[in-house]
Structure 1
């Protein structure tokens, strides 16, 4: 199971607080060369509020913008209850 490097978490949280969540998640995926599966697990490192439904939303998200899965707006709606912060 993928975990974000501890030293990188604060930077990603800052970006998530200031930018659209889908844009930052795409940056995370590109930085670590990970797909939706690992990206869903990385979400756990970014918010203390993550539930299975949030991880599953990332897993079904259309990260490549090919028209299959949740679009960016739907992902934002699914993740709206998350507070991005370090515990």
Structure 2
């Protein structure tokens, strides 16, 4: 079986000590640039293993567990009304 970075078992990655930057990005659902930014901000911890940058799983778990619950924002109140008015003009 061929291993693919995009085939991440929901819990399997937690059993490793480190993740590659690419796999960490996939687990978090962000870009690799965002992973490096999170490192720069001190959120993720990197280690050099055999000459490669690796992300500690402990720091990934800490980030996941500290994430705030998502709630729908009430943005664009006026914009939404304007869009609804336009749609009702067109569609009746």
Q: Provide TM-score, normalisation by structure 2.
A: 0.30
Q: Provide TM-score, normalisation by structure 1.
A: 0.31
**More helix per residue: 1 or 2?**
1
Q: Bigger relative contact order, structure 1 or 2, given CA contacts below 8 A and separation 6+?
A: 1
